[in-house]
Amino acid sequence: MKKIVIIDGGPRKTMNIAKLVEAFIKGVGSISDDIEIKHVRLYDYDYKGCYSCLACKVKGSKYHDVCAIKDGITDVLKETAYADGLCIASPIYFSDISAQTKAFIERLCYPWLDYNNVCMAPPKQLATATIYAMNDSLPERIHELLERVEFIIRFAFGNQIPERVAALNTMQVKNYDRYDFGMFPKEMKEAWHEEHWKNDLQKAFDAGKHMAEKIC
């Protein structure tokens, strides 16, 4: 059975990232019921980023595929490395992916980095997709930011460009009247949501569908 791992680095289980991931899963399901989907909510796991123990760089190391450190994500790292598809979903925090997502990527990808040949050697080539949610809505700034945060995933998988879904200017809260959010007038947020959100969900659905088609 084929497997897609969704690495979900968002803390909120009913907000934007959660809904986009739900749409992605539906997209996968629209192509096949025979693909196992592992939805990993990183905030439910106990782990840290790379410890720089360098066990994966020791001559003759057996940790080139999966990080040597044993903690809450050891099994997930193994499953991800040998899956068929990988979707990384994260809110944008301070112009980056969330700390949990970053920590996971360090642990996943650093063992694959080959300092002899200046390349990344994952045990398997996976189909990749990325999902983001953010307040920002300036296309040039966002493009630059996401190119930067996706660099390592592209490098890891032979310069394959992930299918990217970026939901901009998201509803950060359900009730804007309750919060001190002067920078984000409720009317502006609601108008944007009305115009774009359905399309964002559709793009997430399509990304799931395309990944399923690719791996089937």
Ligand X SMILES: Cc1cc2nc3c(=O)[nH]c(=O)nc-3n(C[C@H](O)[C@H](O)[C@H](O)COP(=O)(O)O)c2cc1C
| Binding region for ligand X (CB under 6 A) | 10, 12, 15-17, 91-95, 133-136, 170, 172
Helix H, strand E, coil C: the string for the chain is CEEEEEEECCCCCCCHHHHHHHHHHHHHHCCCCCEEEEEEEHHHCCCCCCCCCCHHHCCCCCCCCCCCCCCCCHHHHHHHHCCCEEEEEEEEECCEECHHHHHHHHHHHHHHEECCCCEECCCCCCEEEEEEECCCCCHHHHHHHHHHHHHHHHHHCCCCCCEEEEECCCCCCCCHHHCCCCCCCHHHHHHHHHHHHHHHHHHHHHHHHHHHHHHC
Q: How far is the CB of 180 from ligand X (least distance, A)?
A: 14
Contact 89, 8 (CB under 8 A): yes
Kindly state the smallest distance separating residue 19's Cβ from ligand X, in Å. 8
Question: What is the closest distance, in whole angstroms, from the C-beta atom of residue 83 to ligand X in the complex?
Answer: 23
Give whichever of 60 and 182 is closer to ligand X, judged by the CB atom: 182
**Given the complex with ligand X, which of 84 and 200 has the nearer CB atom?**
200
| Cβ distance to ligand X smaller for residue 6 or 127 | 6
Q: Which is nearer to ligand X, 33 or 180 (CB)?
A: 180
Under 8 Å CB-to-CB from 203, ≥6 apart: which residues? 165
CA distance 47 to 150: 22
With respect to ligand X, which residue has the nearer C-beta, 83 or 167? 167
Nearer to ligand X, 57 or 186 (CB): 186
